[in-house]
């Protein structure tokens, strides 16, 4: 069979479409590697190039997170009209399989690694089941090397994506990771991680360790960093701010080539953190933690979620003051988005605060619920204001472009900030040109 893996695109000129710092979906390259060699496999990311539906194929696999699900359904239906069988997977079909099956021939619920061989056999025989689900969580020791050669070599900022663990030991209310992995945390054999590092064709370029929490198992993390320190690498990953409490661990990270960490601070309000279930975050430790990471040459890409129950309109100014004071290198600043499958979705649904279930609006840039401490309009306007201000030239100069305090992480965060500066403005213009959602003034 000729098999195509497809990643749907974001709407044209939307917030995430205009961001140039893209990286590939590791799931597609892994499943491609798990496909028996007698089949021809290709990967198509619609965010890089348009889909040619006339290109011959026998079986299509589409992965979709919630805001891309509507486009994923359109793609699936177009292929089915052409007589091509389609399977869907990813977070959204996992949470809403009955919705997804109305648009495709089969759905994978949850992880697909250990059941993919069965899917391919059934597809080749014309005997696809409607639903597939593994009996157990994937054994990470069984993962092959991803087929990165199938990716567009010019389409991504990070081509080298590697996973060393899956899941997160924490249980935050809003988190889709917990919702799909059920609070489990698994580690991959270090010799397999090392083999993958050695296989990279662009080893001197940046590596993105896509683990949701690379230090969820401290003993494993120490061994991982010791192994990585044998190579001349530059990498970024994700983890909690509590990592900075262990100076020896931070030193090991720096020696191993860490240039940046994506850290979920989420809020400056302890009441919000308690409501989220972010029990390990202590606001009083944020600034000293950031300084320690900076002192070791590690940049901080901070995540703050706006719209939680104890937020009011002053939250945006408070964040910006904090960002300039601590000189964080970059930030992910979404509005709270209650993805189906998460506890926050269930809570807001029960409270009657969900405004719409148009999944294309669940893009982390559009308010889809009624906040408690401000109006929908105030939250929506605040989102655009804080993103525009944070990624302004004045803010960049205050945070990262100081000639007497340059950090090695500027290599990555400099281009990232400069790329976000025009992108945020373009996305805002498109958002309002398309017309604000009908509920925005309610």
Map out the domains of the chain as residue ranges. Answer: 2-133, 158-433
Please report the pLDDT score of residue 339 as a whole number. 95
Query: Distance of CA 328 to CAs 123, 243, 262, 265, Å?
Result: 49, 16, 11, 12
Query: Do 2-133 and 158-433 fold alike per CATH?
Result: no
pLDDT digits (tens, 9 = 90+) for 194-246: 999 999 876 556 899 999 999 999 999 999 999 999 998 999 999 999 999 99
Average pLDDT over residues 306-325: 98
- Length of the chain counted residue by residue: 442
Please report the pLDDT score of residue 215 as a whole number. 94
- Read off the pLDDT band of 92 (50, 70, 90): very high
Q: Are 14 and 72 in contact (CB under 8 A)?
A: no
Q: Are 305 and 371 in contact (CB under 8 A)?
A: no
pLDDT at 154 over 80: no
Q: Are 91 and 65 in contact (CB under 8 A)?
A: yes
Please report the pLDDT score of residue 332 as a whole number. 95
- Across the chain, mean pLDDT equals 92
Average pLDDT over residues 104-110: 97
Average pLDDT over residues 319-333: 96
pLDDT digits (tens, 9 = 90+) for 281-312: 999 999 999 999 999 999 999 999 999 999 99
Which range has the worst mean pLDDT, 86-100, 123-137, 322-336, 405-419? 405-419
Q: Are 212 and 177 in contact (CB under 8 A)?
A: yes
Please report the pLDDT score of residue 158 as a whole number. 73
Please report the pLDDT score of residue 189 as a whole number. 97
Please report the pLDDT score of residue 410 as a whole number. 84
| Assessment of whether the complete model's pTM goes beyond 0.85 | yes
pLDDT at 177 over 50: yes
Q: Are 191 and 83 in contact (CB under 8 A)?
A: no
- Read off the pLDDT band of 415 (50, 70, 90): confident
More confident residue, 160 or 192: 192
- Read off the pLDDT band of 402 (50, 70, 90): confident
Please report the pLDDT score of residue 184 as a whole number. 80
Kindly give the residue spans of alpha helices, DSSP state H, lying in 136-207. 176-181, 190-199
% the chain with pLDDT above 90: 76
Looking at residue 115, the DSSP 8-state letter turns out to be: T
Please report the pLDDT score of residue 200 as a whole number. 87
Reduced to 3 states, what is the DSSP secondary structure of residue 345? helix
Q: Find the angle CA(172)-CA(174)-CA(178) to the nearest 5 degrees.
A: 55
Q: Which CATH number fits domain 2-133: 3.40.50.280, 2.170.130.10, 3.40.50.300, 3.40.50.720?
A: 3.40.50.280
Please report the pLDDT score of residue 437 as a whole number. 62
pLDDT at 405 over 70: no
> Does the domain spanning 158-433 belong to CATH 3.20.20.70?
yes
CA distance 63 to 116: 14
pLDDT at 442 over 50: no
Question: Which neighbouring-strand residues pair with 262?
Answer: 238, 301
Pairing of strands 106-109, 258-266: unpaired
CA distance 25 to 43: 10
CA distance 111 to 123: 18
Please report the pLDDT score of residue 388 as a whole number. 96
Q: CB neighbours of 409 closer than 8 A, spacing ≥ 6?
A: 259, 260, 297, 298, 299, 329
CA distance 72 to 99: 12
Among 354, 358, 241, 240, residue whose Cα is nearest residue 307: 354
Question: Which neighbouring-strand residues pair with 300?
Answer: 261
pLDDT digits (tens, 9 = 90+) for 2-52: 999 999 998 887 778 877 667 788 899 999 999 999 999 999 999 889 999
DSSP H/E element including 293: helix 286-295
């Amino acid at each position: 069979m000729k098999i195509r893996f497809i990643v749907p695109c974001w709407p044209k000129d939307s917030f995430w479409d205009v961001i140039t710092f893209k990286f590939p979906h590791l799931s597609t390259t892994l499943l491609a590697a798990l496909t028996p060699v007698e089949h021809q496999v290709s990967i198509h990311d619609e965010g890089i190039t348009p889909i040619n539906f006339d290109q011959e194929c026998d079986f299509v696999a589409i992965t979709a997170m919630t805001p891309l699900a509507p486009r994923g359904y359109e793609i699936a239906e177009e292929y089915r009209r052409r007589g091509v069988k389609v399977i869907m997977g990813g977070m959204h079909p996992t949470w809403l399989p009955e919705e997804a099956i109305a648009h495709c021939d089969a759905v994978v619920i949850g992880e697909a690694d250990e059941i993919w061989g069965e899917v391919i056999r059934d597809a080749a025989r014309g005997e696809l089941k409607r639903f597939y689900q593994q009996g157990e969580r994937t054994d990470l020791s069984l993962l092959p090397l991803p087929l990165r050669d199938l990716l567009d070599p010019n389409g991504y900022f990070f081509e080298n994506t590697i996973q060393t663990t899956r899941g997160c030991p924490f249980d935050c209310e809003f988190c889709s990771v917990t919702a799909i992995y059920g609070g489990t945390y698994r580690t991959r054999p270090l010799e397999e991680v090392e083999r993958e590092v050695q296989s990279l064709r662009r080893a001197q370029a940046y590596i993105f360790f896509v683990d949701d929490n690379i230090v969820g198992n401290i003993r494993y993390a120490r061994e991982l960093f010791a192994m990585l320190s044998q190579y001349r690498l530059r990498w970024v990953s994700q983890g909690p701010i509590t990592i900075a409490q262990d100076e020896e661990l931070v030193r090991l990270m720096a020696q191993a080539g860490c240039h940046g960490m994506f850290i979920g601070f989420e809020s400056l309000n302890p009441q919000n953190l308690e409501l989220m279930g972010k029990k390990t975050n202590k606001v009083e430790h944020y600034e000293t933690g950031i300084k320690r990471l900076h002192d070791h040459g590690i940049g901080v890409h901070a995540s703050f979620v706006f719209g939680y129950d104890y937020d009011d309109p002053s939250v945006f100014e408070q964040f910006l003051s904090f960002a300039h004071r601590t000189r964080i290198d970059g930030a992910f600043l979404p509005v709270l988005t209650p993805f189906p499958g998460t506890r926050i979705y269930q809570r807001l649904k029960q409270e009657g605060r969900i405004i719409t279930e148009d999944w294309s609006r669940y893009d982390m840039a559009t308010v889809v619920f009624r906040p408690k401490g401000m109006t929908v309009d105030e939250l929506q306007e605040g989102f655009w204001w804080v993103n525009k201000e944070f990624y302004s030239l004045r803010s960049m100069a205050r945070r990262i472009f100081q000639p007497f305090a340059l950090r090695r992480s500027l290599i990555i965060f400099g281009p990232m900030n400069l790329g976000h500066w025009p992108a945020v403005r373009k996305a805002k213009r498109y958002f309002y040109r398309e017309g604000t959602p009908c509920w925005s003034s309610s």
